[in-house]
Amino acid sequence: MSRIGKAPVTIPSGVEVTFKDAVITVKGKKGELTQAIDTCVGVTIEDNVITFSRQSDAPNDRSKHGLYRALVFNMIAGVSDGWKKEMEVIGVGYRANATGQKLELALGFSHAIIMEIPNEVKVTTVTEKGKAPVVTLESFDKQLLGQVAAKIRSFRKPEPYKGKGIRFVGEEIRRKAGKSAGKK
């Protein structure tokens, strides 16, 4: 049995979970999320504890058992506490500026990149003298937050020679030696 799938999920106070017609709905102080659950996975809600079971030991059922448990856990954590990602914009002349739901990035191209951020995601930027600008994304939807962060990172991925680009705070970039390292 899946170790992740058989672990029960406790519902914290202030979060309401309903399961009807193979759709689970989670409401909390930060927002509301819904997720369709495959019929091969059974869901029971008793005494503020959600347990997941599967119909058979088929590989497809086994993989979905842990998947849906993890998705529901992330939904509950999102509507109660929220999720946050921080990204650094590293490079000479690289800038980030957020106004409302628009993020403007200057990444060394001939023009600035302006990205419209979804309403469910809150974006802020901090620029301190002598430090790289930091873009902070906050949301109750972990999937949407990860998708927006990946899109922002895709504009200028960190390169291995100088380390310039957009990276997550705390992310280690494997650096390479330049051309001169091979010459003697």
The token pair at 122 is 């809150």
Rounded to an integer, the average pLDDT of 130-153 is: 96
Q: For the segment 75-125, what is each residue's pLDDT rounded down to a tens digit?
A: 999 999 999 999 999 999 999 999 999 999 999 999 999 999 999 999 999
Provide, rounded to the nearest whole percent, the portion of the chain with pLDDT above 90: 82
**pLDDT, mean of residues 51-61:** 90
For residue 155, name the pLDDT band (cuts at 50, 70, 90). Answer: very high
Handedness of CA 149, 155, 156, 157 (dihedral sign): positive
- Return the higher-pLDDT residue of 182 and 144: 144
pLDDT at residue 71 tops 90: yes
Closest CA relative to residue 169, chosen from 149, 147, 145: 149
pLDDT of residue 13: 92
pLDDT for the residue numbered 4:
87
Query: Does residue 180 carry a pLDDT above 80?
Result: no
Helix (H), strand (E) at residue 65: helix 59-80
Chain mean pLDDT for the chain: 92
The 3-state secondary structure of 71-128 reads HHHHHHHHHHCCEEEEEEEECCCCEEEEECCEEEEECCCCCCEEEECCCCCEEEEECC
Domains of the chain: 9-80 (3.90.930.12), 83-168 (3.90.930.12)
pLDDT at 182: 59
Q: pLDDT band at 1, cuts 50/70/90?
A: very low
Alpha carbon separation from 144 to 12, 70, 131 (Å, rounded): 22, 15, 28
C-alpha Rg value of the chain to the nearest Å: 21
- Is it the case that residue 31 has pLDDT exceeding 80? yes
